[in-house]
Amino acid sequence: MKYRYLNACDEKQPEVVTNCFISGEVDINFGHIGQFNRREDFVAVFKDLGCHDHIVDMHHAQNPVFLELTNNTAKTKINLRFQSINTKDKLHVQLGGYYLDEFEKQRDGQWLISKSAFIINSVSMSDFSGEYSKVVYSGNCMPD
């Protein structure tokens, strides 16, 4: 399910992103992007920020670990390397971090995300508007 979600983000498919989460109340905390109680509210921000031709995003998930698994619930930690290229503003962003997610198994057998938090542990931002690319920020959190 997480890989379906990440691919849908990269392919700018908001309907698929929406359907990766349970309906009703969810707990989505993506730090600087926002905290959301409804999947539709998160997807509205996703569409506003990422669903443009000048935004090229790549989510690379790795090292998934099940922290807890029952017949109907799961908790995971999944590392992420994220790259975003904004061809309009000439900005390149690379993030490292991890998701702490919870999943619920639905009556139809499909697993959906019920809780998701993203924790950043590295950020690099570069401006490529000039002759040379210039690092404008590096750190372990998003700049203010």
Residue 98 CB burial class (10 angstroms; 0-12, 13-18, ≥19): buried
Is a pLDDT exceeding 90 seen at residue 98? yes
Is a pLDDT exceeding 90 seen at residue 138? yes
Is a pLDDT exceeding 90 seen at residue 11? yes
The average confidence (pLDDT) of the chain is 97
Is a pLDDT exceeding 90 seen at residue 144? no
Question: What is the distance between the alpha carbons of residues 64 and 118, in angstroms, rounded to a whole number?
Answer: 14
**pLDDT score, position 61:** 97
User: What is the pLDDT averaged over residues 106-122?
Assistant: 97
Lookup: tokens for 50: 């990422």
CATH of the domain spanning 2-139, picked from 3.10.450.50, 3.40.50.2000, 3.50.50.60, 3.20.20.70: 3.10.450.50
CB 84 within 8 A of CB 55: yes
User: What is the pLDDT averaged over residues 117-126?
Assistant: 98
**What are φ and ψ of residue 19, in 5° steps?**
-75, 0
pLDDT digits (tens, 9 = 90+) for 25-61: 999 999 999 999 999 999 999 999 999 999 999 999 9
pLDDT digits (tens, 9 = 90+) for 71-95: 999 999 999 999 999 999 999 999 9
